């Protein structure tokens, strides 16, 4: 009997889950809301590069091509690498693009029965042989709804999904009182390079945060403006009682020197 595995997301983890589900004899069904594979690499700033050396960001059974000589590949090189991996292992035919998972529901034994199962020993066998998952999906192009059942569900959404992490502001003290434009890094990354460059060119830019997206955007805005306008990185340290802001680095100083 064919056993189906529902995999949500076609980023790096989703591709790996699909490949190994096939290797174990399962039938993977990968649901991807976007029109392409790549996950987080489909929505990065165009000048983004790996912050991890290439040898540490490699599939164990699929090395980087010799044509990629740099230690820190850029966004396009990473994206091409992922597409090559998917094509090499013939994974694309198992992926349903432009498909959003609306809900998943477990249909199986009661909670009492589940609690009686022995803990999984890591030998590839499931907790039990009963129960299925009902997965409701929506085709984002036709808006049609489909319901299917699978034996297992693997969540490969990652930490950086399509839900932006936005702070909450007191009334009258948020972006609405700022005369300039406020946008999330996810929205900025969705712009093509020229559009993003024209958006920030000739403007003073403050980037709030100090993770990878903040560093990439700060550098990109500095490149767009040279030493004429200032890009400032602002790190916010928060606790239950205090909010501390630190100006970390004036990105334009490097370009002036």
Cross-strand pairs, 18? none
Cross-strand pairs, 208? 234
pLDDT of residue 67: 96
DSSP H helices, the chain, are: 12-23, 75-88, 111-115, 185-189, 193-200, 212-225, 252-256
Domain around 220: 175-256
pLDDT of residue 19: 98
pLDDT of residue 209: 79
pLDDT of residue 228: 57
> Is 148 found in the same domain as 199?
no
pLDDT of residue 256: 37
Q: How far apart are CA 113 and CA 128, in angstroms?
A: 10
Q: Which of 124, 155, 186 is the last residue of a domain?
A: 155
User: In this predicted model, what pLDDT tens digit does every residue of 48-58 receive, in sequence order?
Assistant: 899 899 999 99
> Is 118 found in the same domain as 25?
yes
Q: How far apart are CA 119 and CA 182, in angstroms?
A: 48
User: At residue 121, what are phi and psi to the nearest 5 degrees?
Assistant: -95, 5
User: In this predicted model, what pLDDT tens digit does every residue of 146-161 receive, in sequence order?
Assistant: 999 999 999 998 776 6
Q: Look at the chain and report how many structural domains it folds into.
A: 2
Q: pTM score, two decimals?
A: 0.76
Residue 162's CB is within 10 A of a number of other CB atoms, namely 10
pLDDT of residue 242: 45
* Residue 248 DSSP class: E
- The low-confidence residues of the chain, meaning pLDDT below 70, are 1, 110-130, 160-161, 227-257
> Is 232 found in the same domain as 141?
no
> Is 31 found in the same domain as 114?
yes
> Is 104 found in the same domain as 53?
yes
Give domain status of residue 163, yes or no.
Answer: no
């Amino acid at each position: 009997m064919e056993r189906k595995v529902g995999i949500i997301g076609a980023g790096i983890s989703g591709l790996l889950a699909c490949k190994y589900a096939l290797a174990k004899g399962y039938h993977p069904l990968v649901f991807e809301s976007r029109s392409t594979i790549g996950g987080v690499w489909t929505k990065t700033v165009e000048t983004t590069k790996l912050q991890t050396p290439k040898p540490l960001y490699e599939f164990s059974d699929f090395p980087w091509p010799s044509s990629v000589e740099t230690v820190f590949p850029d966004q396009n090189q990473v994206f091409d690498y992922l597409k090559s991996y998917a094509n090499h292992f013939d994974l694309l035919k198992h992926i349903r693009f432009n498909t959003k998972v609306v809900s998943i529901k477990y249909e199986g034994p009661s909670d009492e029965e589940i609690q009686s199962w022995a803990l999984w020993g890591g030998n590839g066998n499931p907790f039990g042989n009963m129960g299925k998952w009902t997965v409701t999906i929506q085709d984002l192009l036709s808006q049609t709804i489909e319901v299917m059942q699978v034996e297992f569900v693997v969540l490969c959404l990652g930490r950086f999904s399509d839900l932006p992490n936005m702070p909450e502001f007191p009334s009258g003290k948020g972006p609405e009182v700022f005369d300039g434009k406020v946008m999330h890094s996810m929205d900025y990354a969705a712009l093509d390079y020229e559009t993003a460059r024209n958006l920030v060119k000739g403007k003073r830019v403050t980037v709030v945060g100090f993770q990878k997206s903040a560093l990439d955007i700060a550098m990109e805005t500095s490149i767009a403006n040279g030493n004429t306008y200032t890009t400032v990185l602002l790190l916010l340290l928060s606790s239950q009682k205090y909010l501390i802001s630190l100006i970390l680095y004036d990105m334009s100083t490097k370009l002036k020197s």
